Amino acid sequence: MTMIDGQMVATQIKQQIAKQVNELAELGVTPGLAVIMVGNDAASEIYVKNKQQVATDLGIEANTIKMPADTTELAIIKKIQILNADPAVDAILVQSPMPTHINEQNIQAAIDPSKDVDGFHPYNLGQLVTDANEYYPVANTPRGIMRLLKWYDVKTTGKLALVIGRSILVGKPMAAMLTNADATVITANSQTKNLDELIAIADIVVVAMGKANAIDAQKMKAGATLIDVGINRLADGTLVGDVANKNNTNLAFATPVPGGVGPMTIATLMETTVELAQQHVAHGND
Ligand SMILES: Nc1nc(=O)c2c([nH]1)NC[C@@H]1CN(c3ccc(C(=O)N[C@@H](CCC(=O)O)C(=O)O)cc3)C=[N+]21
């Protein structure tokens, strides 16, 4: 079994991004990323900290806007409208999850689709489902996973892919990307019957449940590929994925946690930010 090295692939992608940032600098353009964080969520804190560091290293201007947990939906939408109108901002990300009194769909729909770095806007989700030929941003975690599959030459055409989880952040766009890549896709959720039987036959299993050790890798088929999207911090401080027993399996590939999908999410977020900046230059609204 080969452990996928997400850190290594992310480093390679970041070298490419640095070149593109230099090209934009020659045009007098610095890609700008704005992150809105409402309240305090542990996973989001990690993400924002890592993201800020990587952006700075690459020459991307990143600003994190923190809003208190009791902020109203209208106040967030007003903030988004200011960022939509700001030519220095190419990419807007509103950290998920938000406090329960906020309707996340209203927030995602308020972001200018041309600045929608998460690909959560209904327009961009529509582009993904239609497999549109023109450029559109997509969610960075599944995008990073598709990159890892390509890098390790894991074929998707004609393969049975099982996606466990149906969030807008990971499961739904993941299923759409795998479908667009000619896989046969099953999206499972908490009501799915006989999950173990599906796990036993799938060629690719993507687990995005957000629950430590919820799935046993030993139940997977020999030669299959496992992508573990979970990032769970245990009481003793250790970081684990959603899948237990990855070692000593007959899998072809598996992603570790940490060092698997996480670093790729950050790298592809930067890549999408740069692409949006390039789009804004090309369409004359930089
Ligand atoms: N609008 C929105 N978009 C997101 O993409 C988004 C979000 N909200 N909310 C929170 C989740 C979580 N997330 C992470 C990405 C990378 C690491 C990461 O870098 N993980 C490292 C571990 C870091 C450590 O050592 O603590 C790794 O897996 O190796 C963590 C968490 C993005 N998310």
CB 141 less than 6 A from any atom of ligand 1: yes
CB 247 within 8 A of CB 219: no
Strand order in the sheet with 2-3: 2-3, 253-254, 225-228, 204-207, 160-164, 184-188
pLDDT of residue 155: 98
Is 246 annotated in the active site?
no
To test the pocket of ligand 1, the residue of 94, 115, 169 to mutate (highest count of ligand atoms within 8 Å of its CB) is 169
Paired residues of 94 in beta bridges? 36
Model confidence band, residue 43 (pLDDT cutoffs 50, 70, 90)? confident
Mean pLDDT in the chain? 96
**What pLDDT score was predicted for residue 286?**
62
Given this model, what pLDDT does residue 248 score?
A: 79
Give residue 285's pLDDT: 75
* Catalytic residue from among 20, 90, 95, 246: 95
Lowest-pLDDT range of 37-46, 56-65, 115-124, 273-282: 37-46
pLDDT at residue 133, as a whole number: 98
211: left (phi over 0), alpha (psi -120 to 50) or beta: beta
Residue 97 near residue 84, CB atoms below 8 Å = no
211: annotated active-site residue = no
User: Could you tell me if the CB of 52 is within 6 A of ligand 1?
Assistant: no
Cα distance between residue 271 and residue 178, in whole Å: 20
Which atom of ligand 1 lies at the shortest distance from residue 96's CA?
Answer: 8
ipTM confidence: 0.96
| Nearest by Cα to 65 from 80, 55, 53, 54 | 80
Residue of the CA atom closest to atom 31 of ligand 1: 47
Relative to the CA of 97, which ligand 1 atom is closest?
9
Which residues are documented as binding site for NADP(+)? 165-167, 231
- For the cut 90, the answer to whether the pLDDT of residue 115 exceeds it is yes
Q: Is the pLDDT of residue 76 over 90?
A: yes
Ordered DSSP codes for 224-271: -EEEE---EE-TTS-EE-SEE--TT---SEE--SSSSHHHHHHHHHHH
| 165 close to ligand 1 (CB < 6 Angstrom) | no
pLDDT confidence of residue 87: 97
Q: Specify the ligand 1 atom closest to the Cα of 258.
A: 29
194 pLDDT above the threshold of 90: yes
State residue 47's pLDDT score.
81
- What does DSSP assign to residue 94? E
Q: Angle at the Cα of 123 (from 120 to 126), degrees rounded to 5?
A: 90
Asked whether the predicted pLDDT for residue 63 surpasses 90, the reply is yes
Domains, in order of start, for the chain: 28-115 (3.40.50.10860), 140-261 (3.40.50.720)
**Interval 212-224 mean pLDDT:** 97
Our answer to whether residue 118 is catalytic in this structure is yes
Local confidence band at 103 (pLDDT 50, 70, 90 cut-offs): very high
pLDDT tens figures, 264-281:
999 999 999 999 999 999
Would the CB of 99 count as within 6 Å of ligand 1? no
Taken in order 82, 134, 106, 67, is the CA torsion positive or negative? negative
Give the pLDDT mean for 7-33.
98
Does residue 265 have its Cβ closer than 6 Å to ligand 1? Answer: yes
pLDDT confidence of residue 40: 86
10 lines ligand 1 (CB under 6 A): no
Lowest pLDDT segment from 21-30, 39-48, 93-102, 168-177 = 39-48
Ligand 1 contact via 95 beta carbon (within 6 Å): yes
Q: What is the pLDDT of residue 116?
A: 98
- The mean pLDDT of 197-201, rounded to a whole number, is 98
The mean per-residue pLDDT over the stretch 125-143 comes to: 98
Q: What pLDDT is recorded for position 152?
A: 98
Mean pLDDT of 110-126: 98
**Top mutation candidate among 265, 266, 273 for ligand 1, by most atoms within 8 Å of CB:** 265
Compare 1 and 47 and report the one with higher pLDDT. Answer: 1
What distance in Å separates the CA atoms of residue 240 and residue 237, rounded to the nearest whole number? 10
For residues 181 and 281, give the distance between their C-alpha atoms in angstroms, rounded to a whole number: 29
